[in-house]
């Protein structure tokens, strides 16, 4: 009798436990949501995150708390996100790089591509080749011609070794069989000082971050690293249009821990879609020259996995990948 009772009780308990996630998901969200940003407060990514969080808060009916967990090229924040409870109350707003590049460089990381579910892609960051106003270079082919004449003469600055601009420009070298001299800096600010002083042949930099220098005429854009032109600079060709078969993508969006329920992920994706299309967010993006590109989670994941494959190949060629 007791054995039969215990068995029936166990079955009932199992059924109740199985129903709990579905019930919780149907009420989602019922309390504030935490959004982890793996880079410092006040930067472009942080401002983007806060703009999106505000728009998502409005359509979900719950406030968002943006938490900056910067350091170690974004890996600290992603590690925190991967280890959070998979209930939809912790999301991560991040560029893809800490997920697609850093795991190939740092094998000790506690996360990987399968540590997350992909909610939505939100933005593209378009990097470009910028030259000083008085530079003789009018095209990528001008730069390459000079580099072929004197290998190593042409120098370029980036925000650091292993950065998106560094990887993209090394792909240019590999595709065109030229030798350029890389000068890595600790961030864009010191690199731009040397570029404006003409101590560098060109800089590889986020196009939207130098709008003031472009408007003043201090710098010119020669080409962008993406497969499409920057909507704010429609006259600037892509590398492919310039005769160089290279695309170096930089993009980002929203992630949640891997075991987050389907219903919660679907609710967040719908909220993200609505937020990205909202007048408030679109107005912010136009003012910041931020390229917006909403993609649903499955497409975001596909792009992340392909980018990881490409980054692995480039890092291995440069000797920057950890065996």
pLDDT digits (tens, 9 = 90+) for 231-278: 999 999 999 999 999 999 899 999 999 999 999 999 999 999 999 999
According to the model, what pLDDT value does residue 5 have? 44
Residues in the chain: 323
**CATH topology classification for 127-224:** D-Maltodextrin-Binding Protein; domain 2 (3.40.190)
Question: Which residues in the chain come in under a pLDDT of 70?
Answer: 1-25
Question: Could you tell me which residues come within 8 angstroms of residue 70 by beta carbon, excluding any fewer than 6 positions away?
Answer: 37, 38, 39, 40, 41, 76, 77
Spatial CA neighbour of 204 closest among 264, 260, 252, 246 = 246
According to the model, what pLDDT value does residue 7 have? 59
Q: Within 13 Å and on the Cβ side, how many CA atoms surround 214?
A: 18
Cβ-contact 304, 99 below 8 angstroms = yes
According to the model, what pLDDT value does residue 42 have? 87
According to the model, what pLDDT value does residue 1 have? 45
According to the model, what pLDDT value does residue 137 have? 98
Domain ranges of the chain: 30-124+250-317, 127-224
Cβ-contact 98, 252 below 8 angstroms = no
Cβ-contact 33, 46 below 8 angstroms = no
The Cα–Cα gap between 76 and 69 comes to 6
Cβ-contact 211, 293 below 8 angstroms = no
The helix, strand and coil proportions of the chain, stated in percent and rounded to the nearest 5, come to 45, 20, 35
Dihedral class, residue 259 (left if φ above 0, else alpha if ψ from -120 to 50, else beta): alpha
Question: Could you tell me which residues come within 8 angstroms of residue 65 by beta carbon, excluding any fewer than 6 positions away?
Answer: 32, 33, 34, 35
The Cα–Cα gap between 275 and 60 comes to 10
CATH number of 30-124+250-317: 3.40.190.150
Cβ-contact 236, 12 below 8 angstroms = no
Same fold, 30-124+250-317 and 127-224: yes
According to the model, what pLDDT value does residue 19 have? 47
């Amino acid at each position: 009798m007791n054995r039969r009772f215990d068995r029936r009780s166990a079955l009932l308990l199992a059924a109740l436990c199985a129903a709990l996630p579905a019930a919780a998901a149907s009420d989602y969200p019922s309390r504030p949501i935490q959004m982890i940003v793996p880079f410092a407060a006040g930067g472009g990514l942080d401002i983007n995150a806060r703009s999106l969080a505000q728009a998502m808060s409005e359509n979900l009916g719950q406030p968002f708390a943006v938490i900056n967990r910067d350091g170690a090229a974004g890996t600290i924040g992603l590690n925190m996100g991967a280890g959070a409870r998979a209930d939809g109350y912790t999301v991560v707003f991040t560029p893809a790089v800490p997920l697609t590049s850093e795991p190939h460089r740092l094998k000790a990381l506690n996360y990987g591509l399968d540590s997350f579910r992909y909610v939505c892609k939100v933005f593209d960051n378009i990097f470009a080749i910028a030259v000083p106003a008085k530079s003789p270079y009018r095209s990528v082919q001008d730069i390459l011609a000079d580099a072929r004449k004197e290998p190593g003469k042409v120098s370029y600055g980036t925000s650091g070794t292993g950065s998106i601009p560094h990887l993209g420009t090394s792909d240019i070298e590999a595709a065109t069989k030229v030798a350029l001299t890389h000068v890595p800096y600790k961030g864009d600010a010191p690199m731009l000082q040397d570029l404006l002083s003409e101590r560098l042949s060109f800089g590889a930099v986020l196009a939207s971050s130098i709008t003031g220098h472009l408007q003043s005429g201090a710098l010119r854009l020669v080409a962008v690293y993406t497969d499409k032109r920057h909507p704010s600079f429609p006259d600037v060709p892509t590398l492919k249009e310039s005769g160089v078969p290279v695309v170096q993508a930089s993009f980002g969006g929203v992630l949640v821990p891997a075991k987050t329920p389907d219903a919660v992920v679907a609710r967040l994706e719908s909220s993200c879609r609505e937020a990205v299309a909202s007048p408030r967010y679109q107005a912010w993006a136009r003012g910041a020259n931020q390229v917006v590109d909403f993609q649903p989670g499955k497409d975001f994941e596909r792009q992340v996995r392909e980018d990881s494959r490409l980054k692995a190949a480039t890092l291995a060629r440069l000797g920057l990948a950890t065996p």
